[in-house]
Chain A
Amino acid sequence: MRTHGRIKRFLYKNSDFLNTAAISISTLEGWILSMKLTQEKIVKHPIKSWLIESLQDAALWIYLAIILTMIACFFVKKTGNPWVSDKIKFILDQYQIKSIQKGHNEPQDHHRVTLFKKTVCFGHRWRQCLTQTCSKKIPFLGDYLVPEIRSGHISQRSKTKFYISDKSSQTEGVAGKAWCTDEAVIRANLAPIHTPENENDIEDKKNRAQEYAKATKCPEHMLQKYIQENENPPLSIAAIPVRVRGQIWGIIVLDSQNPQGVTQESVDHYQLTVAIIGQLLENL
């Protein structure tokens, strides 16, 4: 999930200044290195001589610091403008508050709005296959929908990834379906895995998890943690494609523990919200 700490924000804000300073310092250091301590002008002034000698001795460390600063600035710039991320987060928070039907005092992670980004992941599923049984043929390097920004302040460490493929039959989740069809997809009234009746019945939970996986195109191994942690996965889901400069950039996923929490209105009434997110992402 995208987060911006103080150092990142400082580097992003001052990256132009830091780059200019780094170039100026490296030029100055080069000039100092070319000086000879035996020169008459330098020998006469002990402080000047000591300073030049110290700077010459520390040249390696100064250059190293300059290179590290420039690399850090480059990568911070690459991760995008924190201001844009903050605005998208704010919009997702508002979207979550207004679009999902929920009861009073329910935890925020029961109703979420998440922006997923298409990202190439190296060996992600391969690692999973080492520990779990995978029925699908999984490429070592593949495209995944990865959570980028999520509403609220909890459930921010999600590692859920949905595989997307050139073949629509291989894509995972409601988000994957929205990616393939380039349409908004809604799946509501899903059956829960845990019910008061099956509290101690693991077999029933497994069967229900299989049904849930089929209904949402979700791989079964993703539901293992819900069985282990005695929690229910989202019971209503909507996925809306987001375009940036005409191309699909990612998917906004609305999910709720309420079977009727996400409805047609959740998509229909908030088209402008999706459009604004798309336009903000152009400047990320």
Chain B
Amino acid sequence: MMNGSQWILIPPQELNKPELSMDGGVEFQTMPSPFDVPHSFRISEENKRLIIDFKYISDRDSETVKVLKKPDGFSLHIGKYSKRLFTLEIDLEVFERQYLSSLHDADKENVYFQSVLAKSKDSGDISKNNSKVLKKLAEIGFNNERMISYCF
């Protein structure tokens, strides 16, 4: 299914693209804070649980991490203060029963990746900036063949 627990480097230029934002009629160029941008991630499977880990420039030891268990099979490991997503666990049995029964096997990996990150964005538990970056990462995951070949 996927390439074990190998860390996959994320090309920084993909996630750090500056955006223009308006404030009081003035245009500012903004970029995600370097602390919100994961530099690598890994996907592994253990006991029918899909685990996606994200690594940042300041690691998870630098702050307390709380685990939020969701009823639909998701567990989010989130930094207490920064509200960054460090780990995302999915109970595959629950997840497949709920979301994937009608899909072909070939589509499943992609659906995991996209749904998981979309879910993290919707949950409101993750900081706005971090979820914005993760959403971009999900989009790259689909369009970047090198990354997909690493993952699946």
Residues A215-269 near B (CB distance < 8 A): 215, 217, 240-241, 243, 245-247, 264, 267-268
A188 lies within 8 A of chain B by Cβ: yes
B28 at the interface (CB under 8 A from A): yes
Interface size on A, residues (CB 8 A): 30
Whether B148 sits at the interface, judged by CB under 8 Å, is: no
Of A169, A177, A267, A275, the residue contacting B31 (CB under 8 A) is A267
- Interface-side segment among A6-14, A34-42, A52-60, A178-186: A178-186
CB of A274 within 8 A of chain B?
yes
- Name the one of A181, A182, A183, A282 contacting B62, with C-beta atoms under 8 angstroms: A282
A246-B82, A268-B16, A271-B12 known; A183 and B26 CB under 8 Å?
Answer: no
Kindly report which residue of chain B lies nearest to residue A279, judged by CB atoms. Answer: B58
Which chain A residue has the least Cβ–Cβ distance from B23? A177
**Bound: A278/B57 CA distance, A:** 10
Q: Mark A132-153, 1 if CB is under 8 A from B, else 0.
A: 0000000000000000000000
Residue A272 interfacial (CB < 8 Å): yes
A217 touching B26, Cβ below 8 Å: yes
In this complex, what residue of B is CB-closest to A264? B18
Q: A-B contact count, CB below 8 Å?
A: 91
Q: Does B93 contact A (CB under 8 A)?
A: no
Closest to A186 in B: B29
- Residue A187 at the B interface, CB < 8 A? yes
Complex alpha-carbon distance, A246 and B85, angstroms: 12
Which chain B residue lies CB-closest to A242?
A: B35
Query: Pick the contact of B28 from A185, A246, A271, A275 — CB < 8 Å?
Result: A185
Q: Is B110 an interface residue (CB 8 A)?
A: no
User: Number of contact residues on B: which range applies?
Assistant: 20 to 34
Q: Are the C-beta atoms of A275 and B81 separated by less than 8 Å?
A: no
**A245 & B31 in contact (Cβ 8 Å cutoff):** no
| Cβ contacts A to B, 30 pairs, < 8 Å | A174-B28, A181-B30, A181-B129, A184-B34, A185-B29, A186-B18, A186-B29, A186-B30, A187-B28, A217-B26, A243-B35, A243-B58, A243-B82, A245-B81, A246-B58, A246-B63, A246-B79, A246-B82, A246-B84, A247-B63, A264-B18, A264-B29, A264-B31, A267-B34, A268-B12, A272-B57, A274-B34, A274-B35, A275-B34, A275-B57
A-contacting residues of B (Cβ < 8 Å)? 12-13, 16, 18, 21, 23-26, 28-37, 57-58, 62-64, 79-82, 84, 127, 129
Given contacts A183-B31, A268-B31, A274-B34, 20 further A-B contacts (CB under 8 A): A177-B23, A177-B28, A181-B129, A182-B33, A182-B127, A184-B30, A186-B18, A186-B29, A243-B82, A246-B63, A246-B80, A264-B29, A271-B12, A274-B35, A274-B57, A275-B35, A278-B57, A278-B58, A279-B62, A282-B62
